[in-house]
């Protein structure tokens, strides 16, 4: 194994958005068994430190690969099209309007039913954007074009957290 390998290489996966979650989980478990520090206890402290570095590296890669949003952003970065969400806040006007409508709906929702309806709408938009990422990254190989949907998904992730907080307060 190579600590400098990208996450896909490390896991022996094709560099693509679509991934089989069960296969990813199985590969993570196998890699963790290989690199577990306890396995190197008889080899001394230095070997255990290296194993710990491997274990941390494997876990970091797994966290990126198992999350569709993180995986899409990582693929964009690997292809030379970083998302730069902190410095680039430009979004299409239609998505900005959608954000405002959702925020307004969240502020005005006064019961669980209204919040669940909003959640369904947001979930549908999330699914559509994930499908768009798959098409752009895996079929069209256009990471630069995928940056927009990835950034929109970042907003949806944050908005979904706020929505879940409101649902928890209502229940």
- 82 neighbors 76 (Cβ within 8 angstroms): yes
pLDDT attached to residue 115: 97
Instruction: Look up the pTM and report it.
Output: 0.90
Report DSSP letters for 115-152, one per residue.
HHHHHHHHHHHHHHHHHHHHIIIIIS--HHHHHHHHHH
pLDDT attached to residue 1: 67
The tokens of 158 are what? 């944050």
What percentage of the chain carries pLDDT values higher than 70?
Answer: 99
For residue range 122-162, what is the model confidence (pLDDT) as tens digits? 999 999 999 999 999 999 999 999 999 999 999 999 999 99
For residue range 18-42, what is the model confidence (pLDDT) as tens digits? 999 999 999 999 999 998 877 777 7
For residue range 59-118, what is the model confidence (pLDDT) as tens digits? 999 999 999 999 999 999 999 999 998 787 778 899 999 999 999 999 999 999 999 999
pLDDT attached to residue 167: 94
Asked if the model's pLDDT at residue 46 lies above 90, the reply is: no
First to last CA, the chain: 48
Long-range Cβ pairs for the range 123-126 (8 Å, 24+) = 125/98, 125/156, 126/153, 126/156, 126/160
Asked if the model's pLDDT at residue 171 lies above 80, the reply is: no
The residue written with tokens 């699914």 in the block is 127
Q: Which residues of 111-133 are buried (b: 16+ CB within 10 A; e: fewer)?
A: eeeebeebbeebeebbeebbebb
| Helix, strand or coil, per DSSP, at residue 21 | helix
Mean pLDDT of 49-55: 88
What percentage of the chain carries pLDDT values higher than 90?
Answer: 79
């Amino acid at each position: 194994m190579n600590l400098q390998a990208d996450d896909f290489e490390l896991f022996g996966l094709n560099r693509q958005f679509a991934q089989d979650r069960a296969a990813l989980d199985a590969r993570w478990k196998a890699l963790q068994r290989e690199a577990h520090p306890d396995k190197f206890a008889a080899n001394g402290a230095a070997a255990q430190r290296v194993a710990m570095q491997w274990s941390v590296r494997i876990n970091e890669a797994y966290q990126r690969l198992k999350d569709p949003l993180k995986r899409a952003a990582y693929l964009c970065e690997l292809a030379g099209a970083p998302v730069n969400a902190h410095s680039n806040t430009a979004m299409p006007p239609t998505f900005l309007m959608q954000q405002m409508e959702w925020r307004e709906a969240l502020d005005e929702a006064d019961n669980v039913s209204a919040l669940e309806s909003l959640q369904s709408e947001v979930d549908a938009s999330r699914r559509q954007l994930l499908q768009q990422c798959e098409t752009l990254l895996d079929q069209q190989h256009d990471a630069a074009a995928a940056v927009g949907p990835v950034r929109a998904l970042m907003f949806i992730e944050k908005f979904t957290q706020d929505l879940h907080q409101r649902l928890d307060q209502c229940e």
